[in-house]
Amino acid sequence: MFGFGRLASYDYFGHFQRALGARLQADGEQVEISVVHVSPTASIRRRALKLTELIASTCGADDGPIHLIGHSTGGLDARLLASPTVALGVEPEKLAWRPRLASVTTISTPHFGTPLASFFTTVSGERILRAFSALTVVALSVGSTPLSVMSTLVGLFGHLDRAVGLDVKMVDRTTDAVLRTIDNVRGRDIRNYLDAIKDDNGAMVQLMPEAMDLFIAGIENRPGVLYQSTASMAPRPTPRTFAQSLGGAWSAVSGILFDFLYEITARYDPRYPCAAPDCGKDNERVLVEAIGYTPDLRANDGAVPIRSQIWGTLVWAGYGDHLDVLGHYGGNKRPAAHAAAGGAPAHVDWLCSGSKFDDARFEALVDAITPGLMSSARAGRT
């Protein structure tokens, strides 16, 4: 949700890609990391087909191990493609690489669905999804949104109880106002991205808890492949956490938007709880040690309940929102010239969630993922 490959000259996965690549190379591995560009809200099957095409065209003819790493819905794309019982309707040669698959890593993935998807399938929700996606691209690539847009956003999202009755025309005007803050070249790219959301919203239907109930029943883990996951949650928004996020006008508005997302994602239906009946003693221990207590079924990262994010071995858990875990947090403030000279760009915190995610947590998350990649790769060579 809200994700992309490269838009408005911004690499959505850039921070994570650099951090992971550096660790693997430091361990003596020769690695090639490819980012899959998929339609943001297309069905999981359609997205998995794009993933299939990319792997088939880049994996080469050697026997090197292949690892799939998916953030959010991307983790479900990876699981669907890896499942031995799924018929994707592609030529067998495009799946010839699957015996080389060593691991599947999922980050903040809604394995058991998310209530937010149910909201995004409504008329108002579809418009808001486009608005949030536009805000994400602009906020990450530009760093903020002008004050002229903020007053509209406050009025639009300030009261959650009016969510169902939002004026969709007002939402569309807000999206247009956001797009006017950037130049025409980048604006065209972002509009194409937003049109893709409008044209195909299949993933939102499939990520509803009721629909994921069927996904879980039909998808199997591939034998011999390591499955590992990370899970995060943000503190429940309160007046105190909101006050602590006030670092300026933009962070104040961002806090309101996050509160909106969090409260919808915290909705709970006991028939479809967005959680495994039992995540396993080891995973539960990792979760409790990281959070400090047992998170309930309403705890979430602003997009996905934390207990919906656990699949396979839970290798990292902690406080962080849905974008923090990819490096989109309020970290170091490197000047633009640093990135232009080839250095790493600054971290930009677009969702002010009060999670206090920082460099240390980001480094710890990537550190936790790397050993599984290494061990599964080496196991496949013996």
Cβ-based neighbours of 87, under 8 Å, separated by 6 or more: none
- Residue 319 vs residues 31, 42, 70, 329: alpha-carbon distances, Å: 30, 29, 19, 12
**Rounded-to-integer distance, Cα 137 and Cα 10, Å:** 8
Q: What is the pLDDT of residues 252-289, one digit of tens each?
A: 677 778 888 999 999 999 999 999 999 999 999 999 99
pLDDT score of 23? 95
363, pLDDT greater than 60 = yes
Predicted model pTM: 0.89
Cβ-based neighbours of 310, under 8 Å, separated by 6 or more: 111, 229, 231, 275, 276, 279, 283, 287
**Rounded-to-integer distance, Cα 35 and Cα 33, Å:** 7
8 A C-beta contact, residue 245 and residue 352: yes
Average pLDDT, the chain: 85
170, pLDDT greater than 80 = no
Q: What is the pLDDT of residues 65-106, one digit of tens each?
A: 999 999 999 999 999 999 998 888 999 999 999 999 999 999
Structure tokens at 41: 């809200």
Instruction: Give the three-class secondary structure for 28.
Output: coil
Structure tokens at 339: 């990135």
For every residue of 73-99, DSSP letters joined together read HHHHHHHHHH-TT------GGGGTTGG
The larger pLDDT score, comparing residue 270 to residue 176, is at 270
Q: What is the pLDDT of residues 309-354, one digit of tens each?
A: 999 999 999 999 999 999 999 865 544 433 444 556 788 887 888 8
The larger pLDDT score, comparing residue 147 to residue 331, is at 331
- What mean pLDDT do residues 143-169 have? 54
Looking only at the bridges linking them, the beta strands covering 313-319 and 66-71 are unpaired
156, pLDDT greater than 80 = no
pLDDT score of 153? 58
Q: What is the pLDDT of residues 48-71, one digit of tens each?
A: 999 999 999 999 888 899 999 999
pLDDT score of 150? 54
Domain ranges of the chain: 6-115+208-381
Nearest to 372 by CA among 312, 308, 290, 289: 312
pLDDT score of 293? 96
- Residue 377 vs residues 310, 313, 366, 380: alpha-carbon distances, Å: 22, 16, 17, 5
**Rounded-to-integer distance, Cα 20 and Cα 273, Å:** 33
Q: What is the pLDDT of residues 187-227, one digit of tens each?
A: 788 888 888 888 888 999 999 999 999 999 999 999 999 99
167, pLDDT greater than 80 = no
**Rounded-to-integer distance, Cα 40 and Cα 197, Å:** 6
Instruction: Indicate the CATH number for domain 6-115+208-381.
Output: 3.40.50
pLDDT score of 246? 54
| pLDDT band for position 166 (cuts 50, 70, 90) | low
Q: Taking the CB of residue 305, how many other CB atoms lie within 10 A of it?
A: 30
Alpha helices in the chain (DSSP H): 14-26, 44-58, 73-82, 115-120, 123-142, 147-157, 168-179, 184-199, 202-206, 209-218, 239-244, 249-265, 281-291, 336-340, 359-381
Output phi, psi for 331, to 5 deg. -100, -135
372, pLDDT greater than 90 = yes
Nearest to 320 by CA among 306, 334, 333: 306
The larger pLDDT score, comparing residue 171 to residue 101, is at 101
